[in-house]
Amino acid sequence: MAANISSDKIDLVIYGPIRPILENGFPDQYVVHRAESGDELNQLSADVKQKVRGIAVTYHTMHTGKEELSQFPKLEMIASFGVGYDHIDCTYAREHDVVVFGATGFGVLHSAAALER
């Protein structure tokens, strides 16, 4: 039922080198912020960090630990592009009720729909 779907835009971060499938793959209800490195992630504004609800990690080489995740107090989900998610601090995520999952292809885009409530 669509009664719980918010009309507010949902802020997401694409963390890591951009993949072509993500270049323009998110619908208009998302505000997509890019951070292709840890430094760029740290440089996102405090306002953006307060709004982010999801992170799509594009490569297993992108360390996504407590230091990175704790910057996003409203974070609800992390999607790891490709196989595995051992580069993500799942203990921190579990302790903060953040869902972590691996996704391939359009799985990242479709799973962002989980934030639409």
Question: Which residues contact residue 67 at a Cβ distance below 8 angstroms, ignoring those fewer than 6 apart?
Answer: none
The vertex-8 CA angle with 3 and 34, nearest 5°, equals: 135
- Condensed to tens digits (0 to 9), the pLDDT of residues 51-92 reads 999 999 988 889 999 999 999 999 999 988 877 788 999 999
Q: Sign of the C-alpha dihedral, residues 70, 71, 77, 80?
A: negative
Distance CA(50)–CA(75), nearest Å, equals 9
Q: Where are the domains of the chain?
A: 2-115
Q: What pTM does this model have?
A: 0.80
CATH class of the region 2-115 = alpha beta
